[in-house]
Homo-oligomer: A and B are copies of this chain.
Amino acid sequence: MKDQVIPKATAKRLPLYYRYLKVLLDAGTEKVSSTELSEAIKVDSATIRRDFSYFGELGKRGYGYDVKSLLDFFSKTLSEDRLTNVVLVGVGNLGNALLKYGFHHNNNIRISAAFDVREDLVGRIVDGIPVYPMSEMAEQIKQQQIEIAIMAIPANSAQDTADLLIESGIKGIMNFTPVRLHTPADVQVQSVDLTNELQTLIYFLNHYTPSKEDKKG
């Protein structure tokens, strides 16, 4: 499929479509109509049909949209052509794994600076990435004109750090803490709560798999 220009207003809605379609996929739903999408994500169905018309062959009206095909298409569309630099706050176990994660391998994403409170880390270069003290965070973010931060820090400093990041010009936060951050309307937070993901899975299995109660006693 060739690149084509998608209007900015349509592009804005892609992540929302994408995330809802992932929910549908997890629920085992294969087809979805524009009306169903409309109800689910509060976008009127005419807008959805127009948005989807930019995606070419995916937009088969009347049959419903194929969830997997849409997800594949969105996944490709979401990847950016130009390099995006992001910062990492917190080089503990998880932060360290994220430094080594290789976001840049197949994607134009690069962690260009990391920040930590630990004196044995600060001033060093870890996996090619300089680690600065927290006191230099605001300055580095401004100098490098970075708008996205990954937060892999303890929960108790999450809100304060988020406030400081936003003051420094950060507009998007990937939040690995379980804290629900309070942020201004123009700041987007993407939360990844690993405990919660695992809890949801466990809960689902405990209530979904064939009961073992008949073995009792």
Q: Are B15 and A200 in contact (CB under 8 A)?
A: yes
* B-side contacts of A109, CB under 8 Å: 195, 198-199, 202
CA distance A39 to B43 in the complex (A): 13
Q: Note all chain B residues with C-beta closer than 8 A to A150.
A: 198
1/0 contact string of A92-129 vs chain B (CB within 8 Å): 01101110110100110100000000000000000000
Chain B min CB distance to A57 (Å): 21
The 8 A CB mask of A1-30 against B (1 = contact, 0 = none) is: 000000010011011101110010011110
Distance A19 CA – B39 CA, assembled complex (angstroms): 16
Residue of B nearest to A147 (CB): B205
Measured between beta carbons, the chain B residues less than 8 angstroms from A42 are 27, 29, 36
Known: A195-B109, A209-B186. A202 touches B148 (CB 8 A): yes
- When distances are taken between beta carbons in the complex, the residues of chain B under 8 Å from A200 are 15, 18-19, 78, 190
Contacts of A11 in B (CB 8 A): 203, 207
User: How many whole Å from A175's CB to the nearest CB in chain B?
Assistant: 10
| Identical subunits present | 2
Chain A contact residues: helix, strand, loop or mixed: helix
Complex contacts, A53 vs chain B, CB 8 Å: none
Q: Flag if A209 contacts B101 (CB, 8 Å).
A: no
Q: In the assembled complex, which residues on chain B have CB atoms less than 8 Å from the CB atom of A14? A: 203, 207
Minimum CB–CB distance from A60 to chain B (whole Å) comes to: 20
Structural contact, A93 and B103, CB atoms closer than 8 A: no
Q: Which segment, of A79-87, A135-143, A158-166, faces chain B?
A: A79-87
A192 within 8 A of B: yes
Q: Top 10 closest A-B pairs, CB basis?
A: A39-B39, A40-B40, A97-B97, A11-B207, A93-B97, A93-B100, A190-B201, A172-B205, A78-B203, A15-B200
Other A-B pairs, 16, CB within 8 Å; known A39-B39, A98-B194: A12-B208, A14-B203, A18-B200, A19-B26, A20-B20, A20-B40, A27-B42, A28-B185, A94-B97, A101-B195, A109-B199, A147-B205, A171-B205, A172-B204, A174-B201, A190-B198
